[in-house]
Amino acid sequence: MKIIVTGGAGFIGGNFVHYMMNKYKDYKIICLDALTYAGNMETLESVQDNPNFKFYKADIADRNAVYEIFEKEKPNIIVNFAAESHVDRSIDNPSIFLQTNVLGTGVLMDACRKYGIDRYHQVSTDEVYGDLPLDRPDLFFTETTPLHTSSPYSASKASADLLVQAYHRTFKLPVTISRCSNNYGPYHFPEKLIPLMIANALADKELPVYGKGENVRDWLYVEDHCSAIDLIIHKGRVGEVYNIGGHNEKTNLEVVKIILKELNKSESLIKYVTDRPGHDMRYAIDPTKIHSELGWLPATKFEDGIKKTIQWYLDNKSWWQNIINGEYKKYYDLHYKGR
Ligand code: NAD
Ligand code: TDX
């Protein structure tokens, strides 16, 4: 079995590479990643010398490069994690999101048609459903909830989903799509809420909470996302969408306070800053379908996952400190200064 994992030098893709290589010792894992600001070869250091692992630096929107890799590798399965993934950056600069998330997905599917594959899996997000109101805790996103996007990021991910479904219907491409809630865990780029708050708290810097911190996210430990995708690519029904989430809703303020408590830091570090434009209020996944069809259940409770995550950031300081002291510093200053 040969699997191309795009975006494997990023947060979830990197965790997926490790998960699959640990679980399936005879699978060949081919990572295709453009190494944007979010890609990091240090994440893949421990597998680089494994003969079952191969890395190509390539852009999924570069048709020639993608076709060449397909021609050479003849993969059975493609799992597409590659994307511009940060909502705030999509507000600053939408066009790269269309380029990678929409056109790049189109190129990958054309390659699948041209060379033939057993499965194309699109890693999507709960953000394609838009948001839910805070005063209706009875509402959840199901696979039939209409797409209703808020940010250029979520609009680009929804566009890609529609394209994937169109290639299934029109060209009979064997596709699946998963829509997962917010992930957390090792190798999470420090621009995102949880690693950003851990890094700032450790440096006794202000923790910038958007608005009142009342927005709700549904957190899932990254390994549980990997196990769900593993099940879908092997046992999921072609043409289907599967929601992935573990019923773990928390307000941003709750998450930030948990991190401060774990690190023994004062809540006075919290700074309320100007809200994100178009900020989604609440995400909440109904995972009934993947549970009843494929038997998936998350293994890690938030209380344990957040402890493991904090410990990982304490044990791997050089991984994230290299990032926050590099090019990212400019983004941070631009985004947060005077906010
Ligand atoms: P990330 O930003 O950490 O990693 C993205 C990776 O894709 C990086 O390695 C980057 O170099 C690579 N990449 C970007 N543009 C590329 C291109 N044009 N060609 C090839 N590679 C490219 O993102 P993540 O958080 O790991 O998210 C992975 C996927 O999961 C995304 O598709 C995202 O939409 C989806 N997702 C993320 C979450 C979450 O909470 N992080 C939740 C649900 C779904
Ligand atoms: O500095 C911050 N302060 C803050 O209050 C940042 C970076 C975030 N926030 C808030 C905004 C959100 O309500 O925290 C929440 C989480 O923010 P992000 O980590 O940026 O994630 P989110 O916008 O929810 O999107 C994430 O989950 C769905 C991923 O980045 C997406 O790729 C995924 O599709």
- Domains in the chain, number: 1
Those residues with Cβ within 8 angstroms of residue 317's Cβ, 6 or more apart along the chain or in another chain? none
| pLDDT tens-place string over residues 150-189 | 999 999 999 999 999 999 999 999 999 999 999 999 999 9
Report d(CA 137, CA 160) in Å as an integer.
29
Q: Which residues pair with 32 in a beta bridge?
A: 6, 56
Residue 48 binned pLDDT confidence (cut-offs 50, 70, 90) = very high
305-316 burial, b for 16+ CB within 10 Å, e for fewer? bbeebbebbeee
152 lines ligand 1 (CB under 6 A): no
Rg, C-alpha atoms of the chain: 19
pLDDT of residue 267: 98
* CATH code where residue 100 lies: 3.40.50.720
Burial class, 202, CB count within 10 angstroms (exposed 0-12 / middle 13-18 / buried 19+): middle
Q: Which of 15, 80, 87, 280 to mutate to test the pocket of ligand 2 (most atoms within 8 A of CB)?
A: 87
217 lines ligand 2 (CB under 6 A): yes
Identify the helix (H) or strand (E) that includes residue 54: strand 53-57
For residue 83, the ligand 2 atom closest to its alpha carbon is 32
209 lines ligand 2 (CB under 6 A): yes
Those residues with Cβ within 8 angstroms of residue 77's Cβ, 6 or more apart along the chain or in another chain? 1, 2, 3, 4, 117, 118, 119, 120, 121, 233
Mean pLDDT taken over the chain: 98
Are 45 and 13 in contact by the 8 Å Cβ rule? The answer is: no
189 lines ligand 1 (CB under 6 A): yes
| pLDDT tens-place string over residues 189-209 | 999 999 999 999 999 999 999
Are 7 and 83 in contact by the 8 Å Cβ rule? The answer is: yes
Q: Which ligand is nearest to the CA of 215?
A: 2
- The range of the structural domain enclosing residue 20 comes to 2-273+282-336
Q: Which of 134, 217, 260 to mutate to test the pocket of ligand 2 (most atoms within 8 A of CB)?
A: 217
Q: What angle do CA 121, 124, 127 make, to 5 degrees?
A: 165
Where residue 95 falls (left for φ over 0; alpha for ψ -120 to 50; beta otherwise) is alpha
Amino acid at 99: Q
Report d(CA 68, CA 85) in Å as an integer.
26
For residue 207, the ligand 2 atom closest to its alpha carbon is 1
pLDDT of residue 216: 98
What pTM was estimated for this model as a whole? Answer: 0.99
| pLDDT tens-place string over residues 317-331 | 999 999 999 899 999
DSSP code, position 185: S
% of the chain at pLDDT higher than 90: 99
Secondary structure of 305-321 as H, E, C letters: HHHHHHHHHHHCHHHHH
Catalytic residues, by residue number, are 126-127, 153
181 lines ligand 2 (CB under 6 A): no
Atom 20 of ligand 2: nearest residue by CA position: 192
pLDDT of residue 150: 98
Q: Which of 100, 101, 210 to mutate to test the pocket of ligand 2 (most atoms within 8 A of CB)?
A: 210
Atom 12 of ligand 1: nearest residue by CA position: 7
195 lines ligand 1 (CB under 6 A): no
Report d(CA 250, CA 127) in Å as an integer.
16
| pLDDT tens-place string over residues 251-286 | 999 999 999 999 999 999 999 999 999 999 999 999
Q: Which ligand is nearest to the CA of 7?
A: 1
192 lines ligand 2 (CB under 6 A): yes
Are 78 and 121 in contact by the 8 Å Cβ rule? The answer is: yes
